A and B are shown apart, each in its own frame.
Chain A
Amino acid sequence: MSDELDILVIEDELVVQEAADRVLRLEGLGVDRAMDSESAVDMVRRNVYKVILSDLMLPGASGFDIIELIKTARPAAQVIVITGYATLENAIKSFQLGVFDFIPKPFDFGELLGVVRRALRYHELVLAGSVPSPLQADPAQELYALGQHTWALLDPEGSATLGVAETFPNQMGEVNSVELPDIDGYTTQGRCFVRIHSADDAVYRVLAPLSGQIMALNNRVREESELLSSDPYGDGWLVRIIPENLEEELCNLTHR
């Protein structure tokens, strides 16, 4: 599709719009902007965008309505939700609507870049029809995913292993370092628990699919980051936790 445009930013706050615009243009991306839901709907109808960044709180309409509209009108477009702190819960729920990822305000240059790059790459995969299906090592384990990129494997003993989907490393450039949480720390569903810094200045925030107490870290991925892509559901796992609120949180995940 030659008339495909890069990015649409739907955001009522001017400074956030400008920041996104500036960062993304620097990447050489074309950016359109919409201030309210009406013009947003209008632009989505008229143009085809690869990636759409949208605030959930917009004057005139609920952000969910716009996401639904985008996903039905333009299924290939990847939606990234910009959230204020207050809409974090809602953002997690919006994964059910097929949202690619979300980025909480305030974000820095690298964080925005990271998520947009990944979305663009995923978009390419979608267009090429080559989205890989999960390579599950042990079929006895239940696999749940949060959005497109993180997963949780439920062990029969009650613990859960968290990691990134095989698509995730593909969407990143060369990995510089993997920032794992503290052992004894906690994960909270929808909050970043691992940061992956790439060679090209982008920061990839990995969101925890489940909340719980961390009982083990896979330190191997610090040295051998290629494990993330070569064996994401096996040796490439990130942390193992004891889930805290499993039943409720599973509702926000998709069963694979």
Chain B
Amino acid sequence: MKSRIGLQLILAVAAVSLTVFGLLSNFLINSQHRSLVTQMEQHAEQITETIKRSTRYAMLRNRRDDVHQIIDAIGEQEEFTKVRIFNKEGEIIYSPDRSALGTMVDKRAEACYACHEADSPLERLSTSRRTRSYTDSEGRPNLGIINPIYNEPNCSSADCHAHPTSQSVLGVLDVTMSLDKIQQQMAANRRKAILLTALAIFSTSAIILLLHQQLVGKPVRQLLQATEKVADGDLTHRIEVKRNNELGKLQTSFNEMTRGLSEAQNQLYQSDKMASVGRLAAGIAHEINNPLTGVLSFSSLLLKNATDNSELRADLEIIVRETKRCREIVKGLLDFSRQIPPRKTRVNLNKTVKRALDIVDHQLAVKNIAVTTTMKEDLPSARLDSNQIVHVLINLLVNAADAIGPRGGEIFVSTDLEEIEGNQMVEVKVADTGCGIPLSEQNKIFEPFFSTKEGKGTGLGLAVVWGIINEHNGSISVTSQPERGSTFTILLPTNGRMELSEKSHDHERRA
């Protein structure tokens, strides 16, 4: 068995049921045995009384043949192993077994022991003392009962030979019955009990095994597998949670843990990647700036001197124009790598959002894009460079408009207040009904020069956005469904303490 908890559980249950069932059936069998034996005793007692009564007359008349006949007839019955009468001296005087006649019974033999235990024999005995159980020489169980034949006035006065009156016990009727049947029945009962106990143990074990497999074994195995996967670095694995019990909850929280872990890892990886890309970009930009100065100043110089040659002039104009474009790209790269730290002031994000919307409003309207804004009221102010945040929002809005395309569509802009790990954050969301971003690209869109707009985009927009948000100690994330749209979420810290004083201030004013 794989699961050790299951094994232990089954062993424990088996031990308990074995003890309980064992004790119970033992008790039942014993009491049944006792009552059967008592019944048997009573039966034997009755029989001895019957024999005594039926032989009484023959004895009084001293008709020995009659007594022999009666004893023989009774002895023929199978249930009796021995029926005999012996006299006071222990001589067997009646018995179906003729060869035994005249033999003496040892007073120490089991039939006599009850009375002859002490030196002088007892004369009156209770039924229970007169019965005895023993196993004969062939190993068969037997129940013996003796019934003393007492002297009666009729006996002493009989004319035959007359027993003297002083003699109180004339002889003993000894009947021995076989207990074989009872013993067999008891053995059968015992077998049944054992069988039942075994069955009970087996079925409860099976039920426990099954329940354990379903309720514990399987979910634990899933958890174990998942843990191994996570340990191997696979953070995408999720357990399929089937039940809502404790283990189900454990599985759910395990899933949540891996999800959180994978998010954190992804963020770490992203910011690591962006930081190194940023350094690379800044390095390249600085290096390019100098040669670009040469190209730009010499080409613009040539352009100035090429007044007469219109063809050359046109060519040079292109060179100058494109070099200036390079200049803008380099500027964007350096913006992205945040060579300029943000100049933060306390501003209300709602106002910043409104400013950004005002700027692109016309542009969006022309493109048949409806903008819906949902501003959270009483948003606490945050320390940010509102120029840069406006820049961020314009970038997101322009991207959204590009994603929507000429068919038109909708953009939803909303602000909210969030608490993340105890830090108060202001949130702004820009959602669009555009083309969406395939999952495989969602990690790349913030990289500089990643663009799907073939020639129309430099791919610096979101890189700069990322740089600015990073410099604000905020975060930006994207969720998107291809063909349905994308949502960009920005979180910016408000930096708690000032909020508190502002709030209490507000409160005072209101009060």
Contact = CB atoms under 8 A, between A and B. Distances in A.
Interface string B388-400: 0010000000000
Contacts of B390: 186
B301 A18 contact: no
Contact of A105 (B289, B345, B385): B289
A11 B106 CA distance: 142
Given A84-B286, A85-B339, A211 B387 contact: yes
Contacts of B355: 213
B263 interface: no
A164 interface: no
B293 A26 contact: no
Contacts of B340: 88-89
A104 to B, nearest CB: 9
Interface residues of B, number: 37
B359 interface: yes
B294 A19 contact: yes
A184 B359 contact: yes
A201 B304 contact: yes
B247 interface: no
A15 interface: yes
B297 A244 contact: no
Interface in B269-309: 282, 285-286, 289-301, 303-304
A109 B323 CA distance: 13
Interface string A96-113: 000000000111111010
A245 B346 CA distance: 9
B300 A13 contact: no
Nearest to B301: A109
A248 B343 contact: yes
Interface string B331-355: 1001000011101010000000001
Contact of B297 (A13, A22, A213): A22
A109 B297 CA distance: 5
Contacts of A16: 290, 293-294
A18 B294 contact: yes
A106 B339 contact: no
A14 B205 CA distance: 90
Nearest to A248: B343
Contact of B292 (A22, A88, A106, A201): A106
Contacts of A177: none
Nearest to A211: B387
Contact of B289 (A23, A85, A185, A249): A85
Contacts of B285: 85
Contact of B345 (A15, A23, A84, A245): A245
B358 interface: yes
B289 A244 contact: no
A86 B334 contact: yes
B178 interface: no
Given A84-B286, A85-B331, A244-B387, A15 B301 contact: no
A248 B331 CA distance: 24
Interface of A: 13, 15-16, 18-20, 22-23, 26, 84-86, 88-89, 105-110, 112, 184-186, 188, 201, 211, 213, 244-245, 248-249
Interface of B: 282, 285-286, 289-301, 303-304, 320, 323-324, 327, 330-331, 334, 339-341, 343, 345, 355, 358-359, 385-387, 390
Q: For the complex of A and B, list the 6 residue pairs with the smallest distance between their C-beta atoms, beginning with the closest.
A: A15-B294, A109-B300, A19-B297, A106-B293, A108-B300, A106-B292
9 contacts: A19-B297, A20-B297, A85-B285, A108-B299, A108-B320, A109-B304, A112-B297, A184-B359, A186-B387
Given A20-B297, A84-B286, A105-B290, 11 more contacts: A15-B290, A22-B298, A26-B301, A105-B289, A106-B293, A106-B295, A108-B299, A213-B355, A244-B343, A244-B386, A244-B387
